[in-house]
Structure 1
């Protein structure tokens, strides 16, 4: 639906309305529902995976509320951009104008007829009428030279269907029915579009919406109502000629008013193919002005800026990529300069968890994605030379993108490069993308700017938090030092007192208890040095399986390969996201994996597993398990593994990380245990409360 042409006049109205103060969704709906192309685009976006949870919303006005004003603005402006960069000739413009006139006429006729016959909801009939020729618009877009000739040669609907099947292998109403059915498979909208050309006798027993569109399609033709049409009106609805005449007059009046409101001059006597040009010079200039004024700066950029987190902004950019360029799937790779990698940060692929595995080296020739970044140029896998030299990783990415090829778009700001956007690309898209290279690069700059600013804000927040933590840690160290001085003095006096009092057993026992308690106080104060200041526990829905996959993927590239460590991943795919603190859990898993890697200096196997619905004392938990094949934990340390202990290196070894792990797990109301396995190695088991997000 994304490539169905729209009427520029409607686009102008919609863009102006989107930028008006206090515009209502009813106003936006009224404008959008005057153009089949715009309606189709709204439906296509609403039917995308991002809005899957609202797939049961079929009322068009409610659909706009679900999408939100920012998305509607993006659809309007990106459609205007597409229209501006893919103008059609005068002849095709007249045919598009004719289809618009017929579709709007059918929509008005269907709504009037629905009210006349008591069909509810009448708005559904209007929408079906408006969309009833989207299939023919698709065919016109596909064959702009041959299809108009076919339309002129067809004497009636039956002959037109035959000619369409002969040229395309499918009829226009079949194409339209499939598009509409994909959006709303549970309604009769698809059937209404499919059977619009059937004779009245063939649809006499069908549901009323099918009959409404069948008759409205024929009534909205240019010719005056014929005897055959009057007969069909009687057969389908029992309506007389005066009623039909009034209905047609009201329909024509509605279309004329709509056209006048859009600045379109209709010729009531225009023949087929001789309508107003939908892409005239005047309206093109006006559209160009709007494109310059609002296009990407106010569309895509505003859409991205409305996403508070980096991942949300990247997913929004993939949605914009689909709306603007028709590239349905993509992966956003961001640079990790420290590791020299391009890492997947966000994607809308069918199997998103597999994309996490791709950690791409920033070296020439290693992948098309890296080459695009290093050359700062668009790279297409469909380029003949490139296609012959694709790396295996490129072929895997193309498979995950579910496309014939892949277009790699470097993301650079004026300051620096931030990553690469790898998008699905089919041969049919290639020529269109070549014509839109400048637009594509500008889009990439907008995305790159958004990523750059988000990363700067994140770094700024992290630096501020780190400084605050360092300040507090400094204060804690100072207090520990000050507290240790009097404790040491007290301990020394106890020793002196013990010597002076001699071997009086009762007194010596009491002094030993005092000395032991002083030792315990000193140990508690010492442990304060290793406890980070408590951070605010931010709860959010966390996909624990995805988090584990991400972290294992990062360690696989940076640590596992060089140490000959293999990862055995056993995740419970039925486990839902839980409400917890993502950063705390990420730090816990990172520390445990680091410890496991250090324990397996000569190679081994790291097992990472998850399990849903573990019942402990009547409470539901999820279980995470991390195990290694290293030497295990020394027996003498098992009792104190989560407390600072004396290190074999000498001194107070308070930096093991397990103290922090225990504190972080406690902060999120979880628990952690460990044991040595019989077959060798250490095993850590975590239990986290199974709290689900409230819808």
Structure 2
């Protein structure tokens, strides 16, 4: 039972992995160094890629192996070694030749400026492993191409392996990888091939360069990590019962420090490397009696299975039978009508002509089962392998269930905290609404008593708008994050500058004998920022300037634009004063929260709020400040309907 394995002469089993395991056991794991070592183990390199085939964006073979080694973990590799003690493996000569051909292909690719030397390396590796034990060149080529497909190799690489037996003229006219492989095979087999004119013609390299290249590669291949030359005597080999007990202990340790996602990945690698099985689909019995995948399972068919409605007591289903009886079952899809439509559909979703079902130890509310795609007429695993695999899969399932419970508990705590916070916010709103209502009422009385004073009424209207804004801000405390927002996503900056001019010219600056100037064009483009946000930003900066400037100081505001900033049109606002300048600590951390030296009424968070609001609306602030010369702020705010990803042309 395995996932369409390509024919090969021997099992893909490891040699000596001690240095590689040392890298993985380091704290933190040295995955790149382990990957470098894995590339010296032809069988391990290919086995990892068969367990998790290459994806389209994985061009760097070393990085791809590092990810797979990190996901598999040292204990899974130890378990692999443990089961390989009594298994046939490729000869050291074959492994050395595979590395020789692979390195020749890589170095030829580098010398000829082929852009993907890792493809050439993998091509050479797969060629030798596929040809091992093959009776004819054609059979070896098909075996190697099958290995390449199982590893997720690119199509030109597969073609190069299949075309090795083609005519010379076909090889020279095919994709460059074909000629690289053909040349690497011959150069790796014999140093005399460096003098072959066909090799020189295909590689465009002189014989001297080819010979030097082969000499270097021979040195690399001569350092191939090897297993002991002879197997230990049968009398000291580990008994099967002890071997499987050790195996279960290693696999239990492999999942000991995993979260749900890592447990699923490690289960996939353990299934493929240790047991030679495809990744299983895990099903548990829900509280309603249905067989369901774990909530955190990322299998593509998980959602469909949830909708399938397969019950654990279904008498027609071999999946349910394996879960209930504790006995392994299997089924092949035939032309006749299926006995159980759910089993038939699940096999199709796994893209297999059949399924095998292995019972797992009970967890939680009922029986569990692992469903595996089955190809060909392979027999079920032996009882010892079944028991070890079931324990491994059950522990992975337990990790998933524990993480699901942990997430549910955290979500419950989060919901409780949010509910408590909203309740406190409502009480605060109730208390804060009373003084706001009183102030609003007094404003109404002042408006009535001064109905003829239009200038005063305009200023009172601004104060009333700000009181409404305060009330709105207070109301937001009772809403979950993200549910509230400013009214309107854009604003007219000219109108807001005029409004703040009327409000602040005398009340904030004139009373302190500070000269206040606002200069702007008659019309300004609308900004991609709510008016309330711009008003709050400017009021914070106005207030900071008024409190910092001495009598006789000057504070000027100017608007200009639009400007192009990183390809996006922005309005420029400049605020300049001639005060004492910012303290050095404030300049070093402009938007940080600093204790204020202005008294109890100041929290020291004005600029911090300005920074947060600017970042929220994708605006930018540039500050320049010098002692005794003053401070200037340049604010760049995106205009309305300007794409965030606009490019400068």
TM-score (normalizing by structure 1): 0.50
Task: Decide which of 185, 188, 192 is 1:220's aligned counterpart.
Answer: 188
What's the counterpart of residue 232 of structure 1? 198
CA distance in 1, matches of 2:211, 2:100: 14
Task: Decide which of 138, 144, 154 is 1:176's aligned counterpart.
Answer: 144
C-alpha contact 1:305 1:313 (8 A) present in aligned 2: yes
The within-5 A match list for 1:87-106 is 92-93=88-89, 95-106=90-101
The within-5 A match list for 1:454-603 is 454-458=403-407, 460-461=409-410
What's the counterpart of residue 405 of structure 1? 354
Bigger Rg over Cα: 2
CA distance in 2, matches of 1:448, 1:360: 19
CA distance in 2, matches of 1:381, 1:264: 37
Query: How far does residue 392 in structure 1 lie from its aligned partner after superposition?
Result: 3.9
What's the counterpart of residue 42 of structure 2? 36
The within-5 A match list for 1:571-650 is none
What's the counterpart of residue 355 of structure 1? 305
* SS of residue matched to 1:403: coil
C-alpha contact 1:195 1:214 (8 A) present in aligned 2: no
What's the counterpart of residue 259 of structure 2? 305
The question of 1:380 aligning with 2:347 is answered no
C-alpha contact 2:98 2:127 (8 A) present in aligned 1: yes
Query: How far does residue 217 in structure 1 lie from its aligned partner after superposition?
Result: 0.8
Over the residues paired in the alignment, what is the CA RMSD in angstroms?
4.9
* SS of residue matched to 2:292: strand
Note closer, same or farther for the CA distance 1:470–1:234 as it changes in structure 2 (3 Å cut). Answer: closer
CA distance in 2, matches of 1:420, 1:179: 30
CA distance in 1, matches of 2:291, 2:183: 58
CA distance in 2, matches of 1:350, 1:365: 26
What's the counterpart of residue 209 of structure 1? 177
The question of 1:296 aligning with 2:251 is answered yes
* SS of residue matched to 1:180: helix
What's the counterpart of residue 71 of structure 1? 71
The question of 1:109 aligning with 2:104 is answered yes
C-alpha contact 1:10 1:34 (8 A) present in aligned 2: no
Query: How far does residue 443 in structure 1 lie from its aligned partner after superposition?
Result: 0.9
The within-5 A match list for 1:281-360 is 295-302=250-257, 304-305=258-259, 307=261, 317=267, 321-322=271-272, 324-328=274-278, 330-337=280-287, 339-345=288-294, 353-360=303-310
C-alpha contact 1:412 1:444 (8 A) present in aligned 2: no
Query: How far does residue 214 in structure 1 lie from its aligned partner after superposition?
Result: 0.8
* SS of residue matched to 1:421: strand
C-alpha contact 2:123 2:181 (8 A) present in aligned 1: yes
Q: How many residues align?
A: 425
Query: How far does residue 373 in structure 1 lie from its aligned partner after superposition?
Result: 3.0
CA distance in 1, matches of 2:45, 2:327: 32
C-alpha contact 1:331 1:348 (8 A) present in aligned 2: no
The question of 1:371 aligning with 2:371 is answered no
CA distance in 1, matches of 2:152, 2:375: 26
CA distance in 2, matches of 1:85, 1:450: 25
What's the counterpart of residue 554 of structure 1? none
The question of 1:161 aligning with 2:128 is answered no
Query: How far does residue 106 in structure 1 lie from its aligned partner after superposition?
Result: 0.6
Query: How far does residue 119 in structure 1 lie from its aligned partner after superposition?
Result: 4.1
Task: Write the deviation string for residues 478-512 of structure 1: whole angstroms up to 9, x where unpaired.
Answer: 9xxxxxxxxxxxxxxxxxxxxxxxxxxxxxxxxxx
What's the counterpart of residue 398 of structure 2? 449
Query: How far does residue 37 in structure 1 lie from its aligned partner after superposition?
Result: 2.9
* SS of residue matched to 1:381: strand
What's the counterpart of residue 422 of structure 1? 371
CA distance in 1, matches of 2:100, 2:108: 12
Task: Write the deviation string for residues 464-487 of structure 1: whole angstroms up to 9, x where unpaired.
Answer: 5787799999999x9xxxxxxxxx
* SS of residue matched to 2:307: coil
Query: How far does residue 132 in structure 1 lie from its aligned partner after superposition?
Result: 1.9
Task: Write the deviation string for residues 528-550 of structure 1: whole angstroms up to 9, x where unpaired.
Answer: xxxxx977789xxxxxxxxxxxx
Query: How far does residue 254 in structure 1 lie from its aligned partner after superposition?
Result: 1.4
Query: How far does residue 103 in structure 1 lie from its aligned partner after superposition?
Result: 0.6
* SS of residue matched to 1:370: helix
Query: How far does residue 296 in structure 1 lie from its aligned partner after superposition?
Result: 1.3
* SS of residue matched to 2:352: coil
CA distance in 2, matches of 1:247, 1:473: 72
CA distance in 1, matches of 2:170, 2:421: 82
* SS of residue matched to 1:100: helix
The question of 1:14 aligning with 2:12 is answered no
CA distance in 1, matches of 2:147, 2:324: 40
More displaced 10-residue stretch of structure 1: 428-437 or 205-214: 428-437
C-alpha contact 1:13 1:31 (8 A) present in aligned 2: yes
What's the counterpart of residue 521 of structure 1? none
CA distance in 1, matches of 2:79, 2:235: 16
CA distance in 2, matches of 1:389, 1:201: 52
